[in-house]
Structure 1
Amino acid sequence: MKKYLSITIFLLIAFSIFWAVKNQDWLKLEQANIQAVTTIKNTEPHILSAPPNHPLIGHEDNILKGRAFTDPADTSSTQQPDWTAQAIHYPERFAQADLVITLDQQSYSLFIEDINAFAISKNITIIVNRGTCGISARDLNNKSVDIAGFCCPPEKSDRLPELKFHTLGIAAVALLTHPSNPVNNISSTDARKAFSGEIRRWNQLAGGQENNRGIVIATRLHCKTRPGHWKLLINKEEFFSTTAREMADIPYMLTQVNRHSVMLGYETLSMVKIENKPVKTLLIDSINPNNLQALAQGYYPFYRVYNLATWTGQHSKPVASELIQYLQAIIANQSNQYQMVPISELEKNGWQIKAGELVGEPVSLVPSPESK
């Protein structure tokens, strides 16, 4: 009898512990061990203010902003001379293809239909793999593709011998929150303070005076060694809020922002449209992220750069160059549809371009555009 009583008591204690843990309003681990928000209701960040020795206390914006680009002349390739002579070698299952391409997830979503249309018009077979910038870099190193796509500028190690980067354009990275959130406009300075944890509640932002709940920051810190993208907001991963929640991918980021009224995340407008998740886009410094003129003129501060890399010299393929020109022309003619400023407009507005690659922001700004 005592034995059964002991077992019963043990089970009751175990169940009580399980129930207590289950009902905690914590942010749990999901999807490949990446932290993501499972429940936000009544949740405040664990640390409600930045530590006194936080590196961003009293910061200036130009200290926070990371590099936008790398110098094309600055390379760190360790490839041996015989590597350059190696032919492009497709995987066996793609042996009959005329072109093999790997694209990052954004470029794939944006351009796959256009690439299919190009293949039909040329009566050729094009294989397109959906990957990431890292997978694109790997496939170039393995010499298994003719073209590779990146959603950010290349780092030094991406600049392989006889490889050329072609910029398609840039797209605004919008700050996103729940549609019910009363905040509409945020300064770039306050945005950096919010993502760093220096501003921690919505009522510290203009328009959020009635909302004293904590801001839950959502991040997707991809391509950590490459310049641009989220580094235009905050340069280093360790400078983000200690309570920031890392999202597994773009759909998950948008799903969480759509579900939780206290969350603040970011993504390009084109991906918001593709994923079809109702979220609010915030003005930044009173500039709407869909204002392509402001983006082209250098007034909108956060953006993503889309590049395609092709081989030059003995491994070059004329049809690869034709495809890139085809995509550049489509973007130039339909920039509003793609929510992207084409490279031709960037050049007109003083952005620094070398041999078809965007390598620097405008040296000087034209007069400020209308805010909306």
Structure 2
Amino acid sequence: MTLKRRAFVLGAGALSVTALGAATSSIDWGGVEQESLLVAGSEEFHPYAVKLVDGFAQTRPKLDVVVEAGGTAGGLLALKRGAIDVALTSRELTATEDEKLTRAYLVARDAIALVVHPGNPVGNLDRKQAAAILRGEVRDWGKLPGGSAGPIRLYRRKADAGTQKALDKMVLANAEMPSSAIVMESGHAMHDRLAADVQGFGFLSLHDVTPAVKVLAIDGVGMSRASILGGSYPFTRSFFCVTHGAEKDVVRAFLSFAQEPQGQNILKGAGLISVR
């Protein structure tokens, strides 16, 4: 098994079939008949997909794998041009993307938790209130239902962090957080700061949440496995493996692996919500 990461470009023009042919021809087959699996797409899904594909490759010693990021749109375009076998997406397909020969397989879900100190009396926000806090428009806890007067100390992640990107899309609709927000280097750092700061407001991926922090309900819906899988908790993202046209044997085997207990356990171990 060989797990490779190649510098394919998934932006304008996406992966070309010619470029792909050149890349695969560089693989050292060693005189042994081997299989290949080419996977690319969502940057948010990519780190989890690497673990999933690596687990699958362990079961097929003659498999050569390429796993790339580059974005959902580029991955779907490359898929439909026949340049890759599986596209990764971190959202459902749009009406124009969901063509007759395109199939999307849900393999995992994740959620963004809006988090405060356990001693904060605020327990619920609606989506508009959450976005207003994150944009810096609401700066005092006393302006919120159940809140006690005092400044809101806002925390964020670096712009290129996956959780920050997810928050920007799901909660902020790509609006910007204020420059006064304090930047945390990691989810663990964010967690520890919020566990200690009674005035703090921040966010965490589901796998970083512990009882040391308080997760706010959104529109009256608490964050739980049931509310995430059922779709009632609003700040969720879904991870799909997408194919187009005829699926070769190794692709069907990979999709089965991703949806069966072994693959689901890999995704769960990486911090996602399994869907089986």
Tell whether the structures are fold-level matches, with TM greater than 0.5.
yes
Aligned twin of 2:39: 101
Give CA-to-partner distance per residue, 1:326-350, whole Å, 9 cap, x none.
21223897697655262x7xxxxxx
State how far apart, in whole Å, the 2-side matches of 1:200 and 1:88 are: 51
Deviation at 1:98, TM superposition (A): 1.8
State how far apart, in whole Å, the 1-side matches of 2:262 and 2:220 are: 26
Assess, with a 3 A threshold, how the Cα gap between structure 1 residues 267 and 214 changes in structure 2: closer, same or farther: closer
Deviation at 1:202, TM superposition (A): 2.7
| 8 A Cα contact 1:218 1:244, kept in partner | no
Are residue 171 (structure 1) and residue 110 (structure 2) matched?
yes
Higher relative contact order (CA 8 A, sep 6+): 2
| 8 A Cα contact 1:216 1:245, kept in partner | yes
Assess, with a 3 A threshold, how the Cα gap between structure 1 residues 158 and 126 changes in structure 2: closer, same or farther: farther
Aligned twin of 1:323: 254
| 8 A Cα contact 1:257 1:264, kept in partner | no
Aligned twin of 1:11: none
| 8 A Cα contact 1:195 1:241, kept in partner | yes
Amino acid in the other structure paired with 1:199 = V
Corresponding residue to 1:259 among 193, 213, 238:
193
Corresponding residue to 1:118 among 56, 69, 87:
56
State how far apart, in whole Å, the 2-side matches of 1:131 and 1:168 are: 17
Deviation at 1:108, TM superposition (A): 4.2
Give CA-to-partner distance per residue, 1:34-78, whole Å, 9 cap, x none.
xxxxxxxxxxxxxxxxxxxxxxxxxxxxxxxxxxxxxxxxxxxx9
Corresponding residue to 2:231 among 288, 295, 298:
298
Aligned twin of 2:173: 235
Assess, with a 3 A threshold, how the Cα gap between structure 1 residues 264 and 321 changes in structure 2: closer, same or farther: farther
Assess, with a 3 A threshold, how the Cα gap between structure 1 residues 253 and 268 changes in structure 2: closer, same or farther: closer
Assess, with a 3 A threshold, how the Cα gap between structure 1 residues 245 and 215 changes in structure 2: closer, same or farther: closer
| 8 A Cα contact 2:108 2:272, kept in partner | no
State how far apart, in whole Å, the 1-side matches of 2:245 and 2:142 are: 54
Are residue 268 (structure 1) and residue 202 (structure 2) matched?
no
Corresponding residue to 2:88 among 141, 146, 149:
149
Amino acid in the other structure paired with 1:176 = V
Amino acid in the other structure paired with 2:240 = N
| 8 A Cα contact 1:171 1:303, kept in partner | yes
The normalised TM-score by structure 2 is 0.64
Unaligned runs of 5+ in 1: 1-77, 223-227, 345-372
| 8 A Cα contact 1:152 1:307, kept in partner | yes
Helix, strand or coil for the counterpart of 1:255?
helix
Aligned twin of 1:288: 222
State how far apart, in whole Å, the 2-side matches of 1:265 and 1:126 are: 41
Unaligned runs of 5+ in 2: 1-11, 30-34, 161-165
Of Structure 1 and Structure 2, which has the larger fraction of its residues in strand? 2
* Percent identity of equivalent pairs: 17
Q: Give the structure with higher Rg (CA).
A: 1
Count of aligned residue pairs for this structure pair: 249
State how far apart, in whole Å, the 1-side matches of 2:94 and 2:159 are: 15
Amino acid in the other structure paired with 1:281 = V
Assess, with a 3 A threshold, how the Cα gap between structure 1 residues 267 and 207 changes in structure 2: closer, same or farther: same
| 8 A Cα contact 1:202 1:215, kept in partner | no
